[in-house]
Amino acid sequence: MRPTPYPFSRWSPADNNKFASAEIYFEGRMLMEIMPQEFSSLLEAYPKDRRYALAVMQDMQRQYNYVPREGLEALAEYISRPVAELFSMATFYKSLSLKPKGVHIIKVCNGAACHIRGAVNLVGGIKRIFGIAPGETTEDGMFSMELVNCMGSCALAPVMTVDGKYYGQVKIESLSAIFEALRNEAKP
Ligand code: FES
């Protein structure tokens, strides 16, 4: 199944028809339930000023691993700006995602050195294993793949990271073992 352009959320409106809680669904599974108090504490850490909008969105990204639509709406109300303006900001900054990401984030370097040494083949290998292209997440929500610029370890090209852990001189044949080890680590 291809990722939907945006996660689906089911709202539970409060009496005044404002957001009371939201269940966030993506790829047919419920990711989390967000309560409005969570947004309140994120918002109230900053003055009601547009200058702090990016900082708030970065906090949401850290907390939820993406910026929920409900979060943008709460922020828009907080700083009295249109949601569309915040949406544009969120799409402009690469560090912000409007889609939930997987539990494990695979970043494949596509800088010059890694590109020459087979980054595209790594992407193809990961696609064969998980059925996802860069920017996509597996249906079980376990893995997301991203294509990134130079990660500063060109001597080890091709390089990828999984949850921040570096893997250098990665061979396509070793990918399955790397990911299998991660799945096993995650088992209770
Ligand atoms: S180009 Fe990949 S680490 Fe520098």
pLDDT digits (tens, 9 = 90+) for 163-172: 889 999 999 9
Indicate yes or no: pTM above 0.75. Answer: no
Mean pLDDT of the chain: 83
Inside any domain, residue 47: yes
Domain C-terminal end among 66, 92, 118: 92
CA distance linking residue 180 with residue 188, whole number of Å: 15
Q: Which atom of ligand 1 is nearest to the CA of 158?
A: 2
CA distance linking residue 188 with residue 185, whole number of Å: 8
Residues 14 and 84 in one domain: yes
Bridge partner list, 95: none
- Check residue 175 and give its pLDDT: 93
Q: Which residues contact 59 (CB under 8 A, 6 or more apart)?
A: 42, 45
Inside any domain, residue 156: yes
- Rounded percentage of the chain residues whose pLDDT exceeds 70: 79
Residue range of the domain that includes 47:
8-92
Q: How far is the CA of 160 from the centre of ligand 1 (A)?
A: 9
Inside any domain, residue 2: no
Residues with CB under 6 A from ligand 1: 109, 111-114, 150-154, 157, 159
Q: What total number of domains does the chain contain?
A: 2
